[in-house]
Chains A and B, each alone.
Chain A
Amino acid sequence: MRTLPLLTLLILSGFSVGALAANQIVNQKGRVFSMPNVTIKKGDSLTFLNDDNVPHNILSTSAGNEFNLGSQLPGTATDVTFKASGDVQVLCAIHPRMKMLVNVTD
């Protein structure tokens, strides 16, 4: 019985690009990113957790690391793996006061 959840976990982690590794979590409570700046290595992921009470729409248009999480409801989390080195400006399309910079290093 115990092997099945473990198997589930392993398969999920394999397909969610390191989701269950020690990703740094970016919280969004109070319509603020919990970290205004973060440095990660190329190929590493951040977990964007909406622990706020309103939806957010996190995205970036920075070249090589474009992404758009769409409407992310409270109580959900999504991993983003950054593929290119450089500065990545991350925004919430809904809340323009929410901005953070991800420095992706080689």
Chain B
Amino acid sequence: MPHPGTGKSFLVAATITLTGFGILSFAKISVGAALVGETRKIDLQQQTTTGIAALKALYRRPTTIPFPKHNLYTPEKAALGKKLYFDTRLSVTSAQSCASCHSPSFGWGDGLPVGVGHGMAKLGRRSPSIVNAAWGEIFMWDGRLATLEEQALGPIQAAGEMNMPLDQLMLRLASIPEYKPQFDAAFPKDGMTPKTLAAAIATYERTVVSEHAPFDAWIEGNEKALPEEAKRGFELFNGKALCSSCHEGWNFTNDSFHDIGLPSKDIGRVEFMPGVVKMKHAFKTPGLREISRRGPYMHNGSLPTLESVIEHYDQGGVERPSRSDLMRPLALTAREKADLVAFLMTLSSNLSPTVVPALPR
């Protein structure tokens, strides 16, 4: 990597060094792959500082829920999906539903450090919240599923979770007389199939959207909606604390994958991206809506409070090759840490009660 310099000797040295690196980098490329040149520094123009008004505009709530073209919203689909979501008969034991681990009572998670699956056995990772899943780009902590429809069928069939083979599930649903007419109403062409089951559940999940929080009122212009410490926390969130590098936009995630230096043997995303160093121990950035209701925190539930989360980021985590280059000690003061927590508290709404549906018999 060249460094700034002006002398003749620097140029010669740079030439030798760079050509040496060039040869080395070609030598390690296998036949049949693209050729990668040496990485070089580029002077970027000074970034203009973003004013508070422009910054706040990045956090304005969307006005509509995005539904994919292959699975557009209908009220019939969403109503059927809600019943399936809360129906324990989707698990082999008839004891667990989607809502067992993704419950409206716990910010659409389960409030446990790690999920509990078939036979009450502990799972390896925390149950993620489904809030705002409609905006998700990729699913599961390790990003192994591409759509919410695929995700809906994953835990149902997983041996450690609901442990229900799909063919067995379809037979069970067919034995419940009131389900068939509801599938026929929601899917007049296809009726009751694993694909329509997934489409219905995904449609319902997309309707689970975080409600208006004090933060939203402030974004929309009510200066009194946030205490001063939370406003300072917002500036830290977007500045010194680097939070918004990943917890970006109104849903506070850009779905990026990072190793944030948590001590854990879980290899995370690299299982599906072998050889990509930065994906080892990397997990998907969760959104932060309703965050005060969603502890304990992190992919493994290892941090009990928001204060402990801020402390982890302030220290920078375990230094290892895979750790994100964004992770480093932040030198936050006690007041700054408190301001960040005060800000995070403003992302929770006064959630309306969720009505649990009467299920088909």
- Measured CB to CB, the residues of A under 8 A from B are 1, 4-5, 7-8, 11-12, 15-17, 19, 31, 45, 49, 51, 53-55, 57, 59-60, 63-84, 88, 93-97
Contact = CB atoms under 8 A, between A and B. Distances in A.
A11 B36 contact: no
B37 A8 contact: no
Contacts of B254: 31, 95, 97
B361 interface: no
B8 A15 contact: no
Nearest to B242: A54
B358 to A, nearest CB: 39
Given A68-B276, A69-B39, A72-B39, A96 B18 contact: no
B35 A77 contact: no
B43 A60 contact: no
Contact of B38 (A65, A71, A78): A78
A70 B42 contact: no
B36 A55 contact: no
Interface centre among A19, A60, A94, A96 (most CB of B within 10 A): A94
B324 A55 contact: yes
A65 B275 CA distance: 16
B194 interface: no
B257 interface: yes
B261 interface: no
Contacts, number: 130
Contacts of B40: 76-78
A75 B42 contact: yes
Contacts of B279: 57, 93
Interface of B: 8, 11-12, 14-15, 18-19, 22-23, 29-30, 32-44, 47, 137-138, 143, 245-246, 248, 254-258, 269, 273, 275-279, 282, 324-326
A82 B278 CA distance: 24
A11 B35 contact: no
Contacts of A81: 34-37
A59 B276 contact: yes
Contacts of B39: 69, 72, 76-78
Given A12-B15, A75-B44, A94 B256 contact: yes
Nearest to A66: B33
Contact of B143 (A19, A57, A69, A96): A96
A4 B47 contact: no
Contacts of B41: 75-76
